[in-house]
A and B are shown apart, each in its own frame.
Chain A
Amino acid sequence: MKVLLRNPRREVEMPGPVRVSRLLETLGINPETVLVIRNNTLVTHDERLEEPDTIEIRPVISGG
């Protein structure tokens, strides 16, 4: 699966199928700090992701 990460913007390839919570754990990302978006729709942490999903992990923390 293609996974888009931000700040800095980059794309990584991850094996699927995998649950959202597991994917975040693998990438070392605190689930409180991101949204996970599959094909432009939000998904919850128990959702299963698989090929050919395109996943965006969008950070939500701003420093202002």
Chain B
Amino acid sequence: MKCRRCKAPALIDVRRHNAAFCADCFVHHCQEQVRRAIHAFDMIQPGDRVLMAVSGGKDSLGAWELLVDLGYETDGLYLGLGIGSYSDASGRYARDFAGPRGLKLIEIDIPDEFGFDIETAAATVRRPPCGACGLSKRHLFNQAALDGGYDVVATGHNLDDEAAVLFGNVLRWDAQYLGRQYPVLPATPGFVRKVKPLVRLSEREMAAYCVIRGIDYIVEECPMAEGNRHLAYKEALNTLEQTSPGAKANFLFSFLERGHERFAGDAEAERVELVPCAVCGSPTTGEVCAFCRMGERARQRGDRGDRGGG
């Protein structure tokens, strides 16, 4: 195969674009996709300070480099989740990325700073580990951004992630979630803007970007994610993609262009008055926010020596 842009031998084919690229042109392609996403959805304004949530994986590390290369002032935030050797390794990948590039990496270790780990927290609140992890991330990313004076939190959610979430929301016809699903969540009192600059790039493109750019990332899957619904949705969508290249992008972007607005009212109707959490001060619907409640119960469980698993 030849590169679509320069006709040199290609390294990576992208079937949904009916194209293949050499290394340099593929990097240009990824930069253009991110630039277009940022512009189309008004994600980042000139002068904004961006906090990139990094996990040590391909998407977040690749996104961090893309944002920096596109000229955005971007620091990284790594959360230690206390998932044994997986967390140790993922933290190392984040540090090894930031250090040589002279990028600022903020680190928050949940077991050290809050006294519990994700597995225990999940068992405490009887949620899947990914639920407890997501709750912790949303809370701590936002809090760190507010504390550090950042305008935007960027996450590494890619086209496949967003298509899988949409697939799940449609399977349940969850109107409120459909109304909220968008590549930008605007800032509201107590919450910074959240953006997903990789929404136009697939997981395969992000993995290829990291290999081409020499970004070392954690390839192993999080041990807590095994068997989660999100992975099953991705598998179903990739089966469709194999026979209909572009199906995932079409599903997601047709929704964003023509479907999302129809559910905006459902998301709006869900809004309730928020008050400061009695423990941490974050906006919440009750007296104590979900993160602080989960943390308190997980610490009690930990004190009893009763860890995750039942």
Contact = CB atoms under 8 A, between A and B. Distances in A.
B and A form one assembly: yes
Interface of A: 6-7, 30-35, 37, 41-46, 58-64
Contact of A59 (B206, B219, B225): B219
Contacts of A31: 242
Which 5 A-B residue pairings sit nearest by Cβ, starting from the closest? Answer: A63-B225, A60-B207, A42-B11, A63-B231, A32-B238
Contacts of A35: 12, 204, 207-208, 211
Contacts of B219: 6, 58-59
Nearest to B225: A63
Contact of A61 (B130, B203, B226): B203
Contact of B238 (A33, A43, A44, A62): A33
A45 B20 CA distance: 10
A13 B122 CA distance: 41
Contacts of A61: 160, 203, 231, 234-235, 238
B130 A63 contact: yes
Given A42-B11, A44-B1, A60 B206 contact: yes
13 contacts: A6-B219, A32-B202, A35-B211, A42-B212, A43-B11, A44-B10, A44-B13, A58-B207, A59-B219, A60-B58, A60-B204, A62-B59, A64-B161
Interface in B237-294: 238-239, 241-242
Contact of B242 (A32, A37, A58): A32
B149 to A, nearest CB: 27
Q: Count chain A CB atoms within 10 A of each CB in B11, B222, B230, B239 and give the residue with the most.
A: B11
What is the interface of chain A mostly: helix, strand, loop, or mixed?
A: loop
B225 A62 contact: yes
What is the interface of chain B mostly: helix, strand, loop, or mixed?
A: helix
B55 interface: yes
Contacts of B161: 64
A64 B57 contact: yes
Interface in B165-221: 202-204, 206-208, 211-212, 219-221
A63 B58 contact: no
B300 interface: no
Nearest to A31: B242
Contacts of B211: 35, 37, 42, 58
A62 B203 contact: yes
A32 B241 CA distance: 7
A33 B59 CA distance: 15
B242 A30 contact: yes
A47 to B, nearest CB: 8
A5 to B, nearest CB: 11
Given A37-B211, A42-B12, 15 more contacts: A7-B220, A32-B202, A35-B204, A35-B211, A41-B11, A44-B11, A44-B20, A45-B13, A60-B58, A60-B207, A61-B160, A62-B57, A63-B221, A63-B225, A63-B228
A7 B226 CA distance: 11
Contacts of B10: 44
A14 to B, nearest CB: 20
Contacts of A62: 57-59, 203, 221-222, 225
A43 B58 CA distance: 19
Nearest to B234: A61
A13 B222 CA distance: 27
Nearest to B204: A60
A63 B207 contact: no
B283 to A, nearest CB: 25
